[in-house]
Structure 1
Amino acid sequence: MPYRFETVDVFTDARFGGNPLAVFIDADGLGDAEMQALAAEMNLSETSFILPPADPANTARVRIFNRAHEMPFAGHPSIGTACVLARLGRVAGGEARLEVPAGLVRVAIETGAGGMATGGRLTAPQPLAIGPELDPAAAAACAGLAERDVLTRAHRPVQVSAGVDFVVAEVAADAIGRALPDIAAFRAALQPWMEGRLSLLIYAREGAAVHARMFAPLAGTWEDPATGSAASALAALLLSLDGGDAAEFTMRQGVEMGRPSLLRPFARRTGAGVTGGVGGGCVPVFRGEYG
């Protein structure tokens, strides 16, 4: 039988904005290599594949691939997949529970007129984990910036994770629009603790308003229009630095690519640590078949 798929744009309320995603709806029967080949063929930041859950209490098991690797967790695929499932009538109680390699992702479905799913608000599968630091000069070189453009008052460039690793670096507001990834610098910046992957989120902040860009050229993503997993980890990091019990942010991303995206990251301090998440819209685009 052909495998059905749908595409959606996530972290936007209008088609052709946000981050596009392909969702293969009933992917049981596709092997690892075929899923990876399909993700490369789609040539999007990520492609997701819906499978039966291991635990029947959950909505689905989801595998997420970028152009080169399987991801343990990703933000816009989680929200996009949850919205596709909701529109198919497969989400009970207004919350999708998605099994991913990093754990369980909960996505509260947001609805519009007629109860149609219009977006979601996910909680990342793991609390904030802070890893090693990256030299500011190396981070600046990766983004095609001068070392002075990288700000270190709040934190130095550092690896953070809420289920998948990123290096986050704060930059001057006048620098973020000038950033241009340098793939040779990315290769030179690789450290053993990165395990061959370096995804760099740079951001400028004014209070709760964040302007971000994310580059992962070694994985085939020159620039990402919207990165919900990084936004979740960044929100948790900022709460851990700022103090308090909870924080809400708005994040703009993808503007420089012509794919404007609006993300709503948040963080909470819990008994398990600082947890992060992100909300955003989801718009259906087209449907197709493979096989």
Structure 2
Amino acid sequence: MPSFPYETVDVFTDKPFGGNPLAVFTDARGLSDAQMQALAAEMNYSETTFVLPPDDPANDARVRIFHRTAEMPFAGHPNVGTACVLARHGRDRNGVLRFEQMAGLVEIAIERNPAGAVTGAVIAAPQALSLGIELPADGIAACAGLQAGAILTAAHRPVQASLGVQFVLAQAAPEALAGAAPDLVAFRKLERQHAGLQGRLSLFLYARDGNRIRARMFAPLAGTWEDPATGSASATLGALLLSLDGGEAASYTITQGVEMGRPSLLNVASRRAEDGYRSRVGGACAPMFRGEAEL
């Protein structure tokens, strides 16, 4: 019976039992698509990654990302966590890793302490900012179990946005954010009403104090009731805010997962590039468990 080794890490935290858990299958050769999806559902984390040889030897790996019910073209904490695991195995090249993914090539810079131990990573999202449909504030408020006035629209209406994977970004009143809770019926209703969502409704709610941001992410239709740290959404928000505020570059500190008891800290750096607005997102990573799956 073949066995497949995996490691788990907590991402966007430097302490065990914080941040966002991730399972990394470090050698997924021989696993079918169906087995990868089944393993991701069995692990029951927000995402699980599967490391395969790259198609282009100039890159370091092909990394596939699955959440509980489907494969993702790109995601933030899976890239940070996978990079840290592989770097601890000596698989980086001078502190850099390049992962092939459905959304494009993801380049990661490994962070180490003075003793040389891997402490975290910073990833570059594979695409420039793209915007999709806008959604009604009252519908978004209902999804989050809030009154309609809790969703702020002065800076922007709730909007679908992506740097490689789509989220709906919505600003909430600071005093309302902690009381948000996903309403599954409202999520289903809003998703049915808007074909432009293409079946994906992952809601990233945030409250802003300058460049310091508190955030929560709900994706119950995909099996994630709440996510403790969402790197891809944080990077997308940074690019959106820079596009609205103006300027060439900006940095943001995003806190997430507090209400879940898994505090997470994400650092976002956004810039205006020739092809639009781009972002990097990074943070710490704490090793947790090792094991094998026998299939």
How would you bin the TM-score normalised by the shorter chain? over 0.9
Q: Give TM-score scaled by structure 1 length.
A: 0.99
CA distance in 2, matches of 1:150, 1:186: 16
> Identity of paired residues, percent?
62
Partner of 1:284: 287
How far is 1:163 from its partner? Answer: 0.2
CA distance in 2, matches of 1:36, 1:187: 23
CA distance in 1, matches of 2:238, 2:143: 22
How far is 1:60 from its partner? Answer: 0.4
Partner of 2:170: 169
Partner of 1:117: 118
| 2:208 aligned partner, one-letter code | R
Residue aligned with 1:9, SS: strand
| 2:224 aligned partner, one-letter code | T
Q: Give TM-score scaled by structure 2 length.
A: 0.98
CA distance in 1, matches of 2:43, 2:257: 19
Partner of 1:246: 249
1:1-291 mapped onto 2 (5 Å cutoff): 1-190=2-191, 191-291=194-294
How far is 1:113 from its partner? Answer: 4.0
CA distance in 2, matches of 1:246, 1:120: 20
**CA deviation string 1:107-146 (max 9, x = no partner):** 1100014211110111100000011101000000000001
In structure 1, runs of 5+ residues without a counterpart are none
How far is 1:79 from its partner? Answer: 0.5
**CA deviation string 1:233-280 (max 9, x = no partner):** 000000000000001000000000000000001211111111012110
Structure 1 stretches of at least 4 aligned residues deviating more than 6 Å after TM superposition: none
Q: How large is the Cα RMSD of the aligned pairs? A: 0.6
Any conservation in 2 of the 1:129–1:161 contact (CA below 8 Å)? yes
CA distance in 1, matches of 2:114, 2:278: 31
| 1:199 aligned partner, one-letter code | S
**CA deviation string 1:173-217 (max 9, x = no partner):** 000001010000000001111111100000000001000000000
CA distance in 2, matches of 1:24, 1:90: 14
In structure 2, runs of 5+ residues without a counterpart are none
Figure out how many residues of one structure are paired with residues of the other and give that number: 291
CA distance in 2, matches of 1:128, 1:272: 9
Any conservation in 2 of the 1:231–1:277 contact (CA below 8 Å)? no
CA distance in 1, matches of 2:114, 2:251: 26
| 2:167 aligned partner, one-letter code | F
CA distance in 1, matches of 2:133, 2:227: 23
**CA deviation string 1:51-80 (max 9, x = no partner):** 000110111000000000100000000000
CA distance in 1, matches of 2:113, 2:8: 19
CA distance in 2, matches of 1:93, 1:240: 33
**CA deviation string 1:8-61 (max 9, x = no partner):** 000001000000000000001100000000000000000000000011011100
CA distance in 2, matches of 1:236, 1:195: 22
CA distance in 2, matches of 1:57, 1:86: 17
